[in-house]
Homo-oligomer: A and B are copies of this chain.
């Protein structure tokens, strides 16, 4: 029962965040819940995953961050940059490559 480094999760948080943020701006806490929503609760990413990843993606120029005052509350909204979309496309390609390969392997193995 692996607590850390669970199988098949490497790259998944980044792919999910880029997918969501390519469709519109969102803030960290919102993304935590949205990931559960769009994956039917199959995947749940904690804040210790989301926030460092947002910071990393922003630093890499894949996301643009903007602090907004919403009512009395302060939120950091992120949105995908053009560079981020390229990164997303690359990740989608990688995902397809690996999942196709595993499908091919399963077909042979039967």
By a beta-carbon cutoff of 8 Å, the part of chain A in contact with chain B is: 5-12, 14-16, 19-20, 22-23, 35, 38-40, 42-43, 91, 94-95, 97-102, 104-106, 108-109
Q: Is the interface of A mostly helix, strand, loop or mixed?
A: helix
For residue A106, which residue of chain B has the nearest CB?
Answer: B19
Number of copies: 2
Contact indicator B7/A102 (Cβ below 8 Å): no
CB neighbours of A42 from chain B (8 A): 97-98, 100-101, 104
With beta carbons under 8 angstroms apart, the residue of B95, B108, B109 that contacts A7 is B95
Contact indicator B39/A101 (Cβ below 8 Å): yes
Contact indicator A8/B100 (Cβ below 8 Å): no
With beta carbons under 8 angstroms apart, the residue of B10, B14, B19, B35 that contacts A9 is B10
